[in-house]
Amino acid sequence: MSRHCPTRRTIVGGLVAIAAVPGSVAGLTATNASGQTGAANMQIRCAFDRHSFTATLLDIPPARDLVALLPLDLAIEDYSTNEKIAYLPRKLTENGSGPFTDEAPGDLCYFAPWGNLAFFHGNYRYSNGLIRLGRLDGGAQPLLTRGKYPLRIELLS
């Protein structure tokens, strides 16, 4: 894809998309149903192969729905060149989700059309149906191990 100079429509659309996101991953703050902003406090541990890492989840309905399923034993595998995926036993709610920007390696997302978690270790772009759930706390390095492995996800706090 070629890059182009942003138009007024693109800038306004981006601002609308930012306003629609319930939380900010950069500061890991979230807005709850009453409109109050606070720090996200849901942290999970993921373990596969010889790796164990944590991720902090945003306080949004899809992330809370994921937490309700924990602990989980899944399989994690490579998808494309920039992510690992793991299929959940059921689909998560999509309530409170919307487009987001500033995609980055280390994002933990849910891809609603397929019902899978997406652990990004490389650059990616937002697409319809992708919901950012949170971020890996220590970076994406563990995700660079290629292959398919059993994955354990559990709630820490």
Cα 64 to Cα 32, 39, 60, 70, 155: the distances in Å are 12, 14, 6, 10, 11
Q: Which fold has domain 8-155?
A: Cyclophilin (2.40.100)
155 in helix, strand or coil? strand
Whether the CB-CB separation of 23 and 40 falls below 8 Å is answered with yes
**The CA-based dihedral angle spanning residues 145, 152, 24, 6, taken in that order and rounded to the nearest 10 degrees:** 40
Residue ranges in the chain whose pLDDT is less than 50 = 1-40
What per-residue confidence (pLDDT) applies to 157? Answer: 66
pLDDT digits (tens, 9 = 90+) for 6-20: 444 443 344 333 333
Q: Please give the structure tokens belonging to residue 72.
A: 């989980």
Q: Where are the domains of the chain?
A: 8-155
Q: Please give the structure tokens belonging to residue 103.
A: 């995609």
